A and B are shown apart, each in its own frame.
Chain A
């Protein structure tokens, strides 16, 4: 657009033009888009061959076989034959953007929040979009018993973390609480040196939180009687009340059972993460109805407590009736190849349906977001990926990724492609261009 000439144009001429442009752009948002002819895996139901999915205002409006879906007149029609549409992948445990939590001063730092440290312009965030991911649980590390609050990020395009946040009904950014046991969080004092000490420190923190909560309840809204605000306690009280799901790093069979014991003592909601020894205690995990977010690693080991990890974990947990999701733990595994984790789960005996659910809907459930994402159902956010073929084939590529109906990755776009396959410059943080200004927003 030739801006200088527009500026010179008489105002009377420009104003109607602007109105038309505005009307068009708002129409574009309101208009629906129909993806036609693809094989669609809604995950909440059976596979649809030659399907149609209509997206409007960032939501899925309708989905079904071509013969069953009425394509709204005026809808943009996107020919998608030969392609496959799956829900956007959900990573329940990611370190993209390298958001960290607590420092070395204390093993228990629930006041820290990855929201304050994640870099959403990181190339790793671009790579996640290139892998078909639409939602991640951005986690602090496992070097603390409680390393901080996690942040749920929708991978919308944006240059600041606020652009990617998900807010609850009260407007508060959503996330969980990261906890860990086993050897990662054991080191010199004030950190614990043994497993029993680890559990004792966690008990002490939650008992304090119970007392803090009791004071608040006793105050019954009287500001005079309220305890001093304490950020540590506030996060733990949210966990005690089930408002903040605990995402618990754990590997060895006895550590897994310790997490469940602490959960039962204090009543927080927990998702077990990594769970290398899951196959040894699958029955106990199933009886406890504890969901598991698992990782697939190309070889066993790396440390003693993860020595016995098995690729069969997904199958064994699935057969035991446990809700299973996969995670990348990016940079441990690469978000661009997240489908591969589930495919290797299938290789080791998991069902295809279970494996795809473990990349999508199960993850949404573990983040408390299944009401809005994780499967392709009318009314849910239009978070999906268009892929070139079978979700579990090595030869399948992620072609496009959409978050809330907006395309955030397109393999045919050379700038996006660089992050998908790598090459010179692929490691650089992204600049977001807007309005002709580099990095502006």
Chain B
């Protein structure tokens, strides 16, 4: 009886997954397919003219010119002028910072303490947030999202696909980075510390010293049965992950002094740092290269005032020319637009001197590499997730439309936008 019951469940599960697989298979024919695959030397592969991307059971199983890819009978076929990998927003707050911008939908920043690395973005992600559907309709399939800049260490980020009815269905990588803000936007509110840049640095150093000592106590307890491990501490657990190099500290810094401080922290703590925002990073290419710090650059259309007053629309072009690993994020917006759209931000970078493939790379392959998810997404290659964006023309042109978005082989948006 018990056995029969289990068998029924197993059959039902198998049936369900076979059904799902049927829905997750698709052939996409494109007049131009930008696979965003790299050659052995790291250069971009040429786009495929009149090609096919075949997706079976949610994974890419073939990519090539139409004559070389056999489309199985009965599979759904979609045509588009231009095909790219599903787009990746490398630094978003979508899902935590809702579109209405009222207290009840703003979960991106907890202001009660300057240092809260224990905040897990999964606990605040609203999978039904309308801005998710908005960016999805423009081809964005992956978000690196989470806590906003605005506190010294404001919480964690994670990576999602822009689909799913609950956060577990959406998640691609549950532990991504930890958010740190240097400069005046990371000062405490209401006179609370940190109130200066020097205080910010002192507080961070002290916090990591505590975390190091926490790690030491755990190691000591592991080595010696006589010793008790320290009481669990969520904050130190997360900082220890950074110290062990398991996840990067993503430092939002725009001004010259703040970028220098980020560089110094990386050297002192010997941790993985990703620089985010980075308006004035154009003065620090040598240091970024030497310290192997990749950059999630500010959206090109970030406001040219305040922290962005010295930002340049040509920064990305210069970074690419200098060989700095770079991806683009939509950043954090406190008013309108409540989120920027990385497709349009990369377009402006392209218009201001960044070669087309590198500009598209900012929101596809280079982004996946920077985020450590290039085994799954970012390019259209065999074995990767069937995440695709379709357009009726040059994706960067103002007047082109995104005509379809596909995630794991499922069409999740098909209204021209």
Residues of chain A having any CB pair with chain B under 8 Å: 123-124, 127, 297-304, 306-307, 331-332, 334, 337, 340, 343-344, 346-347, 392-395, 397, 421-427
Contact = CB atoms under 8 A, between A and B. Distances in A.
Interface in B68-118: 98-102
Contacts of A301: 98-101, 130-131, 336, 338
B282 interface: yes
Interface in B302-317: 303-305, 309-314
28 contacts: A123-B309, A298-B340, A298-B341, A298-B344, A299-B134, A299-B135, A299-B336, A299-B337, A299-B341, A300-B131, A301-B98, A301-B338, A302-B99, A302-B101, A303-B336, A331-B303, A332-B335, A337-B348, A392-B399, A393-B397, A393-B398, A394-B347, A422-B311, A423-B282, A423-B314, A424-B282, A426-B304, A427-B310
A300 B398 contact: no
B55 interface: no
A240 to B, nearest CB: 33
A300 B304 contact: no
Given A298-B344, A302-B338, A427-B305, A421 B99 contact: no
Contacts of B351: 394-395, 397
Contacts of A423: 282, 310, 312, 314
B310 A425 contact: yes
Contacts of B130: 300-301
Nearest to B311: A422
Interface string B381-412: 00000000000000011111100000000000
Nearest to A418: B312
B301 interface: yes
Interface in B124-150: 130-131, 134-135
User: Which size class do B's interface residues fall under?
Assistant: 35 or more
B348 A127 contact: no
B301 to A, nearest CB: 6
B363 interface: no
A297 B398 contact: no
A297 B338 CA distance: 9
Given A307-B100, A395-B351, A421-B312, A302 B305 contact: no
B319 to A, nearest CB: 14
Given A299-B338, A334-B304, 5 more contacts: A299-B99, A299-B339, A300-B131, A302-B337, A331-B303
Contacts of B304: 123, 127, 334, 422, 426-427
B99 A300 contact: yes
B280 interface: yes
A304 B399 contact: no
A306 B305 CA distance: 24
Contact of B348 (A299, A307, A343, A394): A394
B208 interface: no
Max chain B CB contacts within 10 Å: which of A346, A424, A425? A424
Interface of B: 98-102, 130-131, 134-135, 280, 282-283, 301, 303-305, 309-314, 335-341, 344, 347-348, 350-352, 396-401
Given A422-B304, A426-B309, A306 B336 contact: yes
Interface of B is mostly: loop
Contact of B336 (A332, A337, A392, A395): A332
B311 A392 contact: no
A387 to B, nearest CB: 13
Given A422-B314, A423-B310, A392 B398 contact: yes
Contacts of A395: 350-351
Contacts of A127: 304
B84 to A, nearest CB: 16
Closest 6 pairs between A and B when the two form their complex, measured CB to CB: A427-B309, A301-B99, A302-B336, A343-B398, A422-B312, A298-B337
B335 A394 contact: no
B79 to A, nearest CB: 21
A334 B99 CA distance: 21
B347 to A, nearest CB: 5
A305 to B, nearest CB: 10
B301 A334 contact: yes
B313 A394 contact: no
Given A301-B100, A340-B398, A424 B310 contact: yes
Given A334-B304, A427-B305, A394 B131 contact: no
Max chain B CB contacts within 10 Å: which of A299, A347, A425? A299
B178 to A, nearest CB: 26
Nearest to B400: A347
Given A304-B100, A306-B336, A394 B301 contact: no
Contacts of B401: 347
B352 A421 contact: yes
A343 B351 CA distance: 15
A124 B304 CA distance: 8
B239 to A, nearest CB: 34
Given A298-B341, A422-B310, A426-B312, A394 B396 contact: yes
Max chain B CB contacts within 10 Å: which of A123, A304, A392, A395? A395
A251 to B, nearest CB: 11
Contact of A300 (B102, B134, B282, B303): B134
A424 B259 CA distance: 14
B295 to A, nearest CB: 16
Contacts of A300: 99, 130-131, 134, 338
Max chain B CB contacts within 10 Å: which of A127, A298, A397, A423? A298
A340 B348 CA distance: 10
A297 B336 contact: yes
Contacts of A426: 304, 309-312
Nearest to A296: B337
Contacts of B398: 340, 343-344, 346-347, 392-394
A93 to B, nearest CB: 14
A299 B102 contact: no
A397 B335 CA distance: 28
Contacts of A393: 397-399
Contacts of A394: 347-348, 350-351, 396-398
Given A299-B99, A303-B100, A346 B399 contact: yes
